[in-house]
């Protein structure tokens, strides 16, 4: 059906995710695994970022999309604003780094295809943008409903009207290419900001535990991957993919923001349990292999501090160990004492200037 042009895959991401809360790495993974799926199953490369129902859009998205081969962006959600009407039907969306996408905001995504309504919207669209082509996303929409017989009858009726604009079925890429080639597209406004949705603000205060576990999972999987590479252990391809698949699934735009039904969150917590268990096992395996290669001979108990970040880091290390807390004194590789403090059975010390994706060894001594 795809090869014959009867239907067209859209999206290019693993799911249609929330686009405010996930990390940049997660958004890259959404595209990496989504594009790979479409290429493997259909031989299709998606170039239209299609996120009609997401609750707002981060400012860095054009940069991530363009670097992944996308050229266009479509949503309708900004028309749901409850206070400030959205003023732009089409525009260039520019990220902080200067990357640009041609963006289109159709009039809804569950359009009835009523000819009178389409004519009014098309007239308004032309007055605002000067463009000759417009997009109507018709169908029932929510809960799995697609086009209805009534939709199709209305479209055929509009096609048969002599005084009506040309109406045809088409795919998103062709529509966006036609808009881009229109000379009027050159004078469309440039938006240099996030695309903020007012209507669903409250979702970002619900299901805080899910939001926290999403972030912890993102951090854990990045650390697991970095350590897998740096330590030289057999790369855990399948385990990491299975973890990422679950994290990406739960970034769906009703799960992560907090607008899904309760049963969904039972499943989500089960997925995060799996990610936590699997990811921590990979980290432990990588750290163990790394530690075996590090010179730790010296006076006292060696402590290997690894920095999984991509920049140099100074931070407090906490050793929850009564024996080390009783010793109480910490020195660096040159034997120089470092700032430390004992509190109960825990020993705190300041690890300064630990290199990016690197480590330092400290020793705990009595004194």
| CA distances for 195 relative to 58, 93, 128, 192, 289, angstroms | 7, 9, 19, 9, 45
User: How many of the other CB atoms lie within 10 Å of CB of 267?
Assistant: 14
pLDDT at 187: 97
Q: Are 82 and 198 in contact (CB under 8 A)?
A: yes
User: Do the beta carbons of residue 9 and residue 42 sit within 8 Å?
Assistant: yes
Q: What is the pLDDT along the chain (367 residues), one digit of tens a residue?
A: 678 888 888 899 999 999 999 999 999 999 999 999 999 999 999 999 999 999 999 999 999 999 999 999 999 999 999 888 888 999 999 999 999 999 999 998 899 999 999 999 999 999 999 999 999 999 987 666 688 999 999 999 999 999 999 999 999 999 999 999 999 999 999 999 999 999 888 888 899 999 999 999 999 999 999 999 999 999 999 999 999 999 999 999 999 999 999 999 999 999 999 999 999 999 999 999 999 999 998 899 999 999 999 999 999 999 999 999 999 899 999 999 999 999 999 999 999 999 999 999 999 999 8
Query: What local confidence, expressed as pLDDT, does residue 365 receive?
Result: 96
Secondary structure class of 111 (helix, strand, coil)? strand
Which of these is catalytic: 45, 53, 89, 254? Answer: 53
Cα-Cα-Cα-Cα dihedral sign, residues 351, 353, 358, 363: negative
Provide, for the chain, the percentages of residues in helix, strand and coil under a 3-state DSSP scheme, each rounded to the nearest 5.
40, 20, 40
- At 263, is the secondary structure helix, strand, or coil? helix
Cβ contacts of residue 93 below 8 Å, gap of 6+?
A: 61, 62, 73, 100, 101, 102, 103, 190, 191, 195
DSSP 41: H
Say how far apart CA 343 and CA 319 lie, in whole Å: 10
- pTM for this one? 0.91
Other C-beta atoms within 10 Å of 8: how many? 16
pLDDT of residue 73: 97
Rounded Cα distance, 280 and 303, in Å: 19
CA distances for 193 relative to 190, 238, 291, angstroms: 9, 38, 45
- Asked if 53 is an active-site residue, the reply is yes
Q: Cβ contacts of residue 4 below 8 Å, gap of 6+?
A: none
């Amino acid at each position: 059906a795809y090869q014959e042009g009867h239907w067209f895959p859209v999206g290019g991401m693993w799911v249609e995710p929330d686009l405010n809360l996930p990390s940049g790495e997660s958004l890259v993974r959404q595209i990496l695994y989504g594009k790979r799926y479409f290429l493997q199953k259909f031989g299709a490369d998606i170039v239209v970022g299609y996120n009609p129902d997401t609750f707002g859009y981060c400012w860095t998205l054009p940069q991530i999309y363009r670097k992944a081969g996308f050229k266009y962006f479509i949503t309708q959600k900004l028309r749901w604003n409850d206070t400030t009407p959205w003023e732009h039907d089409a525009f260039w969306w520019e990220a902080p780094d200067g990357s640009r996408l041609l963006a289109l905001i159709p009039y809804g995504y569950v359009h009835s295809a009523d000819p009178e309504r389409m004519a009014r919207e098309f007239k308004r669209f032309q007055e605002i943008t000067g463009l000759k082509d417009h997009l109507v996303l018709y169908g029932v929409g929510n809960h799995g409903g697609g086009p209805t017989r009534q939709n199709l009858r209305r479209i055929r009726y509009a096609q048969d009207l002599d005084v009506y604009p040309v109406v045809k079925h088409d795919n998103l890429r062709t529509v966006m290419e036609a808009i881009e080639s229109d000379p009027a597209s050159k004078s469309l406004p440039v938006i240099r900001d996030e695309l903020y949705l007012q209507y669903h603000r409250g979702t970002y205060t619900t299901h805080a535990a899910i939001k926290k576990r999403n972030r912890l999972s993102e951090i854990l999987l990045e650390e697991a991957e970095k350590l897998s590479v740096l330590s030289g252990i057999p790369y855990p391809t399948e385990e990491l993919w299975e973890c990422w698949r679950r994290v990406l699934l739960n970034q769906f735009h009703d799960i992560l923001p907090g607008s899904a039904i309760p049963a969904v969150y039972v499943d989500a917590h089960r997925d995060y349990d799996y990610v936590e268990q699997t990811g921590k096992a990979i980290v432990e395996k990588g750290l163990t292999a790394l530690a075996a290669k590090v010179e730790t001979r010296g006076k006292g108990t060696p402590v290997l501090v690894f920095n999984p970040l991509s920049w140099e880091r100074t931070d407090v290390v906490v050793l929850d160990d009564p024996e080390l807390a009783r010793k109480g004194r910490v020195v660096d590789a040159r034997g120089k004492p470092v700032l430390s403090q004992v509190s109960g059975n825990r020993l705190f010390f300041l690890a300064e200037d630990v290199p990016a994706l690197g480590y330092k060894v400290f020793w705990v001594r009595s004194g």
